[in-house]
Amino acid sequence: MNLKQILLPISFLIFATSCAKVANSQTELSSKTSSSTEQPSAVEQPLEVVSPTAKICSKLDLTGIKWPAEIGSGNWSTHFALALNLTGSFEGREGWKNITGNFDGQGMSLGLMQQNFGQGSLQPLLIKMFKQDNASLARNFVNADYLSLKVMLEDWQNGAISIPNVKSKVNPNELFPEVQALNDLDTNPHKFASPLAAAQNNVSVDWAKNKILSGTNIIARWKTAFQNTSVSAAYRTLQVEAGTAMFLKAKKYKETFKFTELRSLLVMYDIVVQNGGFTATHLTIFNNWLAKNPKATEQARLLALLDARLTTVNPTYVEDVRARKSSIIYGLGNVHGSARNYPKEFCYSPLISI
């Protein structure tokens, strides 16, 4: 995906050396997961509202990033940066340079949103990097590794890397497709990718197994090279670009479901990133519930929509997906063994109207 980019002021996004404290009047919530019989109540609006134009407590280095104009003017870049921080915190502890080997059969996953070879989400970013900052790649990879990576990517796209307009595989306009699965966390995951695309991606996975992996772990020199690449301003911008289509899709969902609160946008973004979005089946289930509960609060609607989405998640992953989403809805909870309180971590008010 080639997005027209403009450099937006980002000084208000840079990590605050001392994060603003959320007012002490914030309701203390239980850190139990949603499997508990007693659900936490919603996070109350702090007395001192953290304005969306103020600095958020960003754990990500946002300097030098070109923010795509498509995300919108005003506070949308702040909301996007917050979504990147929050959802990115689930994907690994190293932010932009998150990297994992072939433990999940995807070959290698890299970056804040863990784009990977197996799903064909990493190759477009690396191809763009070759085109936009080739000198950085040449510095980070020894010559033989640089050439090997380039050949693999050219095989993947069936053409020389000089071919322009590598497009994102995310379509923000298709909100409720008539499919059984959206990604590999759903039941029947093989049905979300075409055989041709799967075959192309498998070539990259096989390359990773033969070249950069020792078992399921990444060989040290390759790991260092990829991580050095991933923290460059150019590649961080590409990661933002890749996240933009998903953020726009999340905005569309927020509008479609008539949500108004900041937390709802954050939930929609996390669903798009982790689960691919919603299908027509999920929409039908939710609309049937809504017809019976026309005066439901926004929190109740979020929980009902989450329940609808969980109906097609592989049982192995249901509780993980539930814990992530419900913790964003409530503002806090236990996720991956850690107690989280997002408004305090990232200095925002979840109930702000946007």
Q: pLDDT value at position 22?
A: 42
Q: Which residues contact 325 (CB under 8 A, 6 or more apart)?
A: 267, 270, 271, 306, 309
Pick from 149, 109, 155: nearest CA to 130: 149
Q: Give me the average pLDDT of each 10-residue run along the chain (354 residues).
A: 39 38 38 39 37 68 85 88 94 89 89 91 95 94 96 88 46 63 60 61 93 94 97 93 92 97 98 93 97 98 98 94 97 94 96 95
Q: State the burial class of residue 274 (Cβ atoms within 10 Å of its Cβ: 0-12, 13-18, 19+).
A: buried
Contact 80, 269 (CB under 8 A): no
Q: pLDDT value at position 184?
A: 59
Cα separation, 308 vs 286, in Å, equals 6
Which long-range contacts does 152-161 make (Cβ < 8 Å, 24+ apart)? Answer: 152/203, 152/204, 152/207, 152/211, 153/123, 153/126, 153/127, 155/203, 156/120, 156/123, 156/200, 156/201, 156/203, 156/204, 157/123, 157/127, 158/200, 161/127, 161/130, 161/131
Q: How many CA atoms lie within 13 A of 81 on its CB side?
A: 32
Reading the block at residue 268, the tokens are 């929609």
